[in-house]
């Protein structure tokens, strides 16, 4: 549940910030009448995300066990790839997201109403599709359709409230640090989803090693205990992972976490040239 709350909070806050920036910029530049196309694009993006989630849920219910496990494993890997890209993208662009969106909005205003709809649709739709895919894979991993959805909805509701407070100017936080630490937690959550996706592919006979366990601590951490349920809900923890699951988990989380937490390098500033070398260049230019 916590993992889904976190993805709902992060993705929802990204979408909320995008909408706040677009709306505030239109209001401040005297284009309040252009708000309707922006909200239309947001509504279309939300509808698409809900339809995508429903398609995943009801479309997979008619599949055979092997096909469903193969689909679940494949989509789990895809969702981890998208979430990994998302946390690195936000880490890179959090500081200049506002100027980037305002530039797109200026271009859309010059084109017309349709461009405003498309701009807001794509800006919000990406987060919505990622959320739907990640929550669906979490539901499959936990075999519990209620708590993951509740967690995601709570995260989205919290992000909507925070977005409203941002717009009113009542809340100020360091967004770069916020996305940094929530991104680090999401890397751990994504590692658990990836490991469970590998298990799905093993059950579908797409990958070998289903009977080769790395360890089995089911007696110490029973899956049906409150702490076993908590660990599974937060980290997708499995007390009896296969060797391949454990290897994939470590191969993913160690380098990705290291790269994500590594200090960002700023643009390289060229060193000023020495006066002597400049004069030498001028001299050589004159002689030639």
Along the chain (288 residues), what's the average pLDDT of each consecutive run of 10 residues? 73 78 78 82 88 80 81 86 82 67 70 74 79 76 67 83 75 70 83 88 91 90 77 76 93 92 64 46 44
DSSP secondary structure, 224-266, as one string: TSHHHHHHHHHH---SS-BHHHHHHHHHHHHHHHHHHHSPPPP
Q: Which of 234, 223, 37, 48 is nearest to 128 (CA)?
A: 48
pLDDT value for 282: 44
pTM over 0.85: no
What's the confidence (pLDDT) of residue 288? 40
Q: What is the pLDDT of residue 247?
A: 95
Distance CA(66)–CA(201), nearest Å, equals 9
Q: Cβ(79)–Cβ(130) under 8 Å?
A: yes
Residue 198's pLDDT is what? 92
User: What gap in Å lies between CA 274 and CA 154, rounded to an integer?
Assistant: 60
Listed in sequence order, the DSSP H helices in 112-174 are: 113-142, 147-168
Q: What is the pLDDT of residue 122?
A: 78
pLDDT of residue 253: 92
Burial zone of 52 (CB within 10 Å; 0-12 exposed, 13-18 middle, 19+ buried): middle
* Encoded tokens for 37: 């196309």
Cα 148 to Cα 3: distance, rounded to the nearest angstrom: 8
pLDDT of residue 287: 43
**Pairwise CA distance, residues 103 & 220, whole Å:** 56
Provide the β-strand partners of residue 242.
213
Angle, helices 35-60 vs 65-93, to 10°: value is: 150
pLDDT at 214: 92
């Amino acid at each position: 549940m916590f993992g889904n709350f976190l993805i709902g909070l992060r993705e929802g806050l990204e979408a909320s910030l995008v909408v706040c920036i677009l709306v505030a910029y239109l209001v401040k530049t005297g284009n309040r009448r252009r708000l309707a196309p922006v909200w239309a694009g947001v509504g279309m993006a939300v509808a698409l995300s809900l339809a995508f989630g429903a398609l995943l849920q009801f479309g997979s219910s008619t599949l055979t066990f092997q096909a469903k496990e193969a689909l679940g494993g494949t989509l789990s890997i895809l969702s981890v790839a998208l979430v990994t890209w998302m946390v690195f993208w936000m880490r890179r662009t959090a500081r200049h997201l506002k100027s980037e969106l305002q530039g797109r909005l200026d271009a859309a205003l010059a084109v017309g109403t349709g461009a405003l709809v498309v701009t807001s649709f794509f800006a919000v739709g990406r987060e919505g599709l990622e959320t739907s895919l990640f929550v669906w894979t979490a539901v499959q991993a936990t075999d519990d359709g209620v708590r993951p959805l509740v967690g995601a909805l709570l995260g989205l509701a919290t992000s909507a409230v925070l977005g409203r407070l941002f717009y009113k100017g009542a809340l100020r936080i360091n967004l770069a640090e916020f996305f940094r630490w929530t991104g680090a937690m999401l890397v751990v959550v994504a590692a658990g989803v990836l490991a469970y996706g590998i298990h799905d592919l093993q059950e579908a006979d797409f990958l070998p090693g289903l009977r080769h366990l790395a360890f089995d601590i089911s007696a110490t951490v029973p899956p049906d205990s409150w702490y076993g349920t908590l660990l599974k809900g937060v980290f997708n923890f499995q007390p009896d992972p296969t060797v391949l699951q454990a290897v994939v988990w470590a191969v993913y989380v160690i380098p990705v976490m290291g790269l994500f937490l590594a200090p960002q390098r700023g643009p390289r500033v060229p060193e000023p040239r020495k006066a002597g070398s400049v004069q030498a260049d001028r001299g050589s230019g004159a002689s030639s």
